[in-house]
Amino acid sequence: MIQQISDAELEIMKIIWGNPEAVTLFSYIMDGLAARGKPCQKNTLIVLLSRLINKGFLRAKKIGRHNEYTTLVSEAQYQTVQTRNFLDKIYEGSAKGLVSTLIMGDLLADEEYEELKRLLEKGKG
């Protein structure tokens, strides 16, 4: 069961997910937040990271004076769970409702629409 995380926490997770390295260092996250225009205090980040650890999203390994963070939940896993929650809440679990809203609401760009179509065909086959 994947827990809910706050926006600030998600921001941090995105940085870690975006890191091509297997492990992420504290300073990498700090820099990433600054690059996204959301700098914060060192202790604030520590508090947020420890919440993520408690929620089972991250594991911290102490190497010398540094903490190395590894993700326990992948971005795809998180997205799936979140979407399911979203579907349950808004569309009573119906994916069709969601897709039709996307199409009807003109929320999809043309290329996206084509790609989705291809994906659907493939899924059928």
Partner 1 sequence: MNTVLKIFLSMSISGSLLILVLLLAKRFLKEKISRQWQYYIWLIVILRLLLPFGSERTLLGKTYQAVDQAITQSVPSPKQQPAPNATRSGFAPAIKDNENPNSLEENLTIAYPLQDSKMLVINHIWLAIALGMLIRKITIYQGFIQYIKAGWNPISDTEILDQLSIVAKQAGIKKPIELCVNPLVSSPLLIGFFRPCIVLPSADISKKNFCYIVLHELMHYKRRDMFYKWLVQVVVCLHWFNPFVHLMNREITKACEFSCDEAVLSKMGRENAQDYGKTLLDAMAAVGRYKESLGAVTLSENKQLLKERLGAIMNFKKKSKTIQLLTGVLTLCIIVGASFVGVYPVAAAVEVPSSTNMEQLLPSQSDNELMADDSPVMETLDFRGKTYYLVHNETQLRAIGTGQYGMDQNYMQQADIWLSADEWVPIGTWDNPFTGTYTGNGFEIIGLTMTDPNAEIIGLFGVAQNAHIYNITLQDYDIVDAGQNVANKSVGAILAIGRWVRCYDNFVYPKETNVNHEDASSQIEQYYKDNSLPLFQMAFGSLDEKEQGKWLDRIYTDNRIAFWGTAIGVLDEDCALIQRYAEKTYANDSIAYFSALAMYMSDETLEVWLDRALEDKNTWFQSVLFNALDRDDEFDKLEEKQEKEWAEARMAEYGAVGVTIDGKNYYYQGQLVNIFLDIVQRDQSFYTLDMNPKGTINIKIIRDTDNKITGVIDMTEEEVTKLLGDMGD
* Residue ranges that bind partner 1, judged by CB under 8 A: 6-9, 38, 40-44, 46-48, 50-51
In whole angstroms, how close is the CB of 55 to partner 1 at the nearest point?
A: 10
The nearest distance, CB 87 to partner 1, in angstroms, is 24
How far apart are CB 29 and partner 1 at their closest, in Å? 13
**Amino acid at site 43:** N
Nearer to partner 1, 49 or 73 (CB): 49
Handedness of CA 30, 31, 36, 40 (dihedral sign): positive
Residue 110's alpha-carbon distances to 80, 117, 118, in angstroms, are 24, 11, 13
